[in-house]
Amino acid sequence: MKYGELIAEMTLEEKASLMSGKDFWQTQDIERLGINSIFLADGPHGIRRQAVASNKMGLNQGVPATCYPTAATVANSWNAELGEKVGEYLGEEAVSQKVHVLLGPGVNMKRNPLCGRNFEYFSEDPYLAGKMAAGYIRGIQAHGVSACVKHFAVNNQEEKRMTIDTIVDERTLREIYLTAFEIAVKEGNTKSIMSSYNKLNGTYTNENKHLMQDILRREWGYTGTVITDWGGSNDRLQGLLAGNELEMPTTSGETDREIIAAIKKGEIDEAILDESVDRLLDLVFSTESAIDRSKTEFDMEKHHRVSQKVAEESIVLLKNDDDILPLKFGKKVAVIGDFAQNARYQGAGSSLVNPTILDHTMDSFEESGILSIGYEPGFERYGKRNQQMIDRACILAKKADVVLLYIGLDEVTEAEGLDRKDMKIPENQVDLLHAIHEVNPNIIAIISCGSAVEMPWIDKVKGLLHSYLGGQAGARAILRVLSGDVNPSGKLAETYPLKYEDTPSYRHFPGREATVEYREGLFIGYRYYDTADINVLFPFGYGLSYTTFEYSDINIDRQGVSFRLTNTGSKAGMEVAQLYVGCRSDKIFRPSKELKGFTKVLINAGESKTIQIPFDDKTFRYFNVATNQWEKESAEYKIMIGSSSADIRLTDTIYIEGTDAQLPYDKEKLHSYYTGKVNNVSKDEFEQLIGRELPDPSWDRDKPLGYNDTIAQCQYAKGLFGRIAYHTIVFTHHFLWKIGKRSTANIIMMSILNLPFRGIARMTGGIVNMPMLDGILMMVNGHFFKGLWHTVKEKVKLQKIHKVVKTKGSQ
């Protein structure tokens, strides 16, 4: 152990105390041994160090920090070096704000377009997500502070996220849902990882030894710290045994006492605790030395300009009929849409950043050179139809040569803790679009949202620019692309289906009660659409430019592929060249193509460059469930170079000598997977894939409610108190939504209704402990007065414990 001598000086109580937080955002300190607290803060795209004291619970406003484009946006740049630059500036701000651990980036897969937190994740593809994440991590940790990759693992829905059991086969787990984490660990060298809330195949992830020990520690060689998501600890002892060092937030010593008691009884070897303490101390000491106590400021203007550059490179041009873009000089432009005046530039929930500077579209026209003749909001932000707004917008549109129509999804539609209800743009915005088209067909739509949307109205617009969520400088970045000052180079990091029903997981998303089944297996995103030959609106990797590129002269050897890329247009531009690989054998089912490399290149007009994309350890591998390890199949592989997954420009083949491992599947029993048509896999076939019977997907309504049941399940509680509590919460949610307090209503849904009962103890910072929770459960389960007395009695005991601890601490 690295800190064995220091650990030998600690008492058992001191060692146990380090395993949970001091408060909501800090680790515990041991003053006599020179071990200080370190501070953790939300930070996927900007630091949210809350302005109030760290012992205050809730999603409180952060001190001002640069709000960079979200991960879903930056992924569209396909530029890992750009991600590293974002990381570097995030790390600098972390140091200035005395933040030791930045809770991000998030690398969960975009399994389904409706996941409410997709704006915080990179891609539907693990290779792209992993490479982008590794860049972020290197940048952040270059300043000595720690990144914290999240949420490990298979956390792909927000509804019931703290209790849902994700049912996924081992191969899909490894190839799709863990590969990005693997790259983050091996190439990014992340110092910390955040475990997810959910169960994985029946076991909570932070207690899952297969995930935490077999894969993370042994196979990947990870030696860093594992931190629970806030309130994400179920059984603290099982978490410790699995190698989960830090439980957040504080439980005011309750779980520390559980660890101490278990060691004294011989249930846990103290050496296990020592190992966890050693890893945590490494995080504490390595990050503490990076914090410059004298540095309290950073260059806000410089960081703002960097944020703008990142947004510019991440904007995706999706449609450009009649070369309506870039805007011609002197064209009279009408600006319509609430998002033009009040930009939608970031997500919601724990990632909400308080920006240092915020650019506004209407304030930036003069420097853009675009001639605006006026602005109309056109629609009410949260969906209410307003004909007068539409009429005024149409009057303005008639006077213009071109209409810039700013549309998208509002802040309460895409939010942590909730999943979207559909893939649609709000109807009042679509009504506005149709009305404007009748008076002026020259419409350029600018979409702001963090995930895929349906576009049945796309034939009504000539130009379509997707800014995603572009951060605090996003408004100015959009105008620079519209004006032609910036040649767009973003490409989609996710597929846009024609309609939600086309997605392979739509029959099994989200899991509504006890489980969610990943019946589509490997075939998410383009892996499904391309293999099953399903038409899409925009393919993975798609994006237009103001110039054109020609691919030629492919050459393949054992090290990789090279080819020639020529800018055949009249403007300098950046192209994202993408390497896909497809195995021509049919012995083991695989997608028709998989991303295995990419590069982004700046090429001047008329210039040619020779591009090389190397093969790596992931190019030809697959996970074999029979041998329980990565293998290569001896086969001919199709090598494809494309401008998107659907626009393959060059192809060739190479024969790879494999490991000739045992075949893992009975082809006759897995027809859906061998054809890739997995949108309606039967229960029997999925059970054949996972090798066991499926658990019951429904809640057990006959048994009393327990620690891991959600407050939403009080709807069928045996006690009247529980049912009244449920209906009161639901009524409050609907009432707040109705009167426009939508963010507050969302917090009720996220933080109360979908909270498991154990979360009452785990998330209240020691105000409620588990014995008190036993009393609350008695009340819910039909023993109101007995439960009330038990709760009061245990509260008194808890207050006495806190008093004793406080007295000892002051001595």
- Nearest CA-CA partner of 758 in 716, 705, 720, 700: 705
| Residues with active-site annotation | 229
Identify the helix (H) or strand (E) that includes residue 582: strand 573-583
Distance, CA of 802 to CA of 796 (rounded, Å):
10
- Nearest CA-CA partner of 467 in 24, 77, 41, 30: 77
Distance, CA of 586 to CA of 573 (rounded, Å):
40
- Count Cα neighbours of 240 within 13 Å in the Cβ-side half-sphere: 27
372-401 per-residue burial string, b: 16 or more CB within 10 A, e: under 16: bebbbbbbebeeeeeeebbebbbebbeebe
514-540 per-residue burial string, b: 16 or more CB within 10 A, e: under 16: bbbbbbbbbbbbbbbbbbbebebbbbb
Query: Which residue shows structure tokens 């798609």?
Result: 542
- Positive/negative CA dihedral, 188, 613, 108, 617: negative
What residues contact 475, with CB distance under 8 A and at least 6 apart?
Answer: 343, 345, 359, 360, 361, 364
- Nearest CA-CA partner of 478 in 332, 601, 321, 345: 345
Query: DSSP assignment, residue 269?
Result: -
> Which tokens belong to 32?
């006599």
Q: Residue 330, exposed/middle/buried by CB under 10 A (0-12, 13-18, 19+)? A: exposed
The three-point CA angle 143-149-150 to 5° equals 150
Give yes or no for a contact between 406 and 422, defined as CB atoms under 8 angstroms apart: no
Distance, CA of 394 to CA of 440 (rounded, Å):
8
> Which tokens belong to 102?
């930045």
What is the DSSP annotation of 629-664?
A: EEEE--EEEEEEEESSSS-EEEEEEEEE----PPP-
Distance, CA of 372 to CA of 238 (rounded, Å):
62
Distance, CA of 556 to CA of 310 (rounded, Å):
33
185-214 per-residue burial string, b: 16 or more CB within 10 A, e: under 16: bebbebbbbbbbbbbbbebbbbbbeebbee
> Which tokens belong to 270?
């103290």
Distance, CA of 452 to CA of 121 (rounded, Å):
13
Q: Residue 217, exposed/middle/buried by CB under 10 A (0-12, 13-18, 19+)? A: middle
